[in-house]
């Protein structure tokens, strides 16, 4: 089956090798007999509801976020309609911030978001940097860990009752205070984890793929396990580095 991915602003939002997430999705889809077709959706190009099974947006610095923010607002109806109709979405770091309602940068400039996620972000004076480990429960009763790297000044506040991606085991997370990281709305997920995220978290890569396929199938398929020895080693190393930071910050 063909899985169509709309990659938002790869020419602007591609810091910390976040493009590697696409490479992981393509390879894991191929190993299961599926084809990942990646379509660039940059400045001036619309997002047509029903066209994509997965929307992906990576991270960028304040300058790059400012360059795309107004254009993303012009795409807002299309992005929200895609998510509402069952498409998956993965937004990383700067892209995660712009998928909220607003982002106030370090200089006090207000960048508009598009409200996919119920949150707002304000840049702090210090950056929150280092390896991070989360505990997630994306399926009822099934707890797994996500390991990655965070580097952000943004303090993201979720609305009361909003669902985070996970609980911070080690690292800072959304704001360094709440103990939560990321946000989830159905098949849409936003996170500060990058570096990139998916190579060291194969279970989560498969979860994203399954959500994309659910856009076509109605329900996410159950995948047979792959031989993920190297990926698990990468996860173990990353998780160990995060734990060495001394617990949740």
| Cβ atoms 165, 200 nearer than 8 A | no
Which of 93, 136, 152, 215 does the annotation list as catalytic?
Answer: 93
Asked if omega into 33 is within 30° of 0 (cis), the reply is no
| Cβ atoms 127, 152 nearer than 8 A | yes
- Beta strands 88-92 and 54-57: pairing type? parallel
* Residue with tokens 């991915």, as numbered in its chain: 5
| Cβ atoms 157, 175 nearer than 8 A | yes
Question: Cα–Cα distance between 225 and 239 in angstroms, integer?
Answer: 21
The backbone torsions φ and ψ at residue 44, rounded to the nearest 5 degrees and listed phi first, read 90, -15
Active site residue 93: yes
Which of 152, 194, 215, 235 does the annotation list as catalytic?
Answer: 194
Q: How far is CA 159 from the centre of its chain?
A: 18
Smallest CA-to-CA distance from 195 within 18, 10, 74 is with 18
Active site residue 183: no
Can you list the pairs that 98-105 forms with residues at least 24 positions away whose Cβ atoms lie under 8 Å? 98/57, 98/65, 98/68, 98/69, 98/72, 99/57, 99/188, 99/190, 100/156, 100/183, 100/190, 103/65, 103/69, 103/154, 105/62, 105/65, 105/66
Catalytic positions:
93, 194
């Amino acid at each position: 089956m063909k899985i169509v991915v709309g990659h938002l602003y790869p020419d602007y939002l591609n810091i910390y090798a976040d493009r590697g997430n696409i490479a992981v999705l393509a390879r894991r889809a191929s190993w299961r007999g599926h084809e990942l077709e990646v379509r660039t959706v940059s400045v001036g190009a619309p997002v047509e509801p029903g066209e994509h099974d997965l929307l992906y947006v990576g991270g960028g610095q304040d300058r790059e976020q400012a360059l795309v923010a107004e254009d993303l607002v012009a795409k807002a109806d299309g992005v929200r309609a895609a998510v509402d109709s069952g498409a998956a979405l993965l937004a990383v770091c700067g892209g995660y911030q712009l998928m909220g309602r607003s982002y106030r940068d370090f200089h006090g400039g207000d960048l508009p978001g598009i409200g996919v996620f119920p949150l707002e972000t304000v840049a702090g004076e210090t950056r929150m940097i280092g390896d991070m480990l989360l505990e997630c429960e994306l399926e009822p009763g099934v707890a797994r860990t996500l390991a990655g790297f965070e580097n952000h000044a943004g303090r993201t506040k979720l609305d009361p009752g909003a669902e985070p991606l996970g609980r911070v085991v080690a690292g800072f997370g959304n704001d360094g205070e709440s103990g939560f990281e990321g946000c989830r709305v159905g098949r849409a997920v936003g996170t500060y984890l990058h570096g990139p995220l998916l190579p060291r978290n194969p279970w989560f890569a498969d979860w994203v793929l399954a959500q994309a396929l659910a856009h076509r199938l109605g329900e996410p398929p159950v995948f047979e396990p792959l031989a993920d020895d190297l990926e698990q080693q990468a996860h173990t190393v990353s998780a160990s580095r995060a734990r060495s930071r001394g617990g949740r910050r």
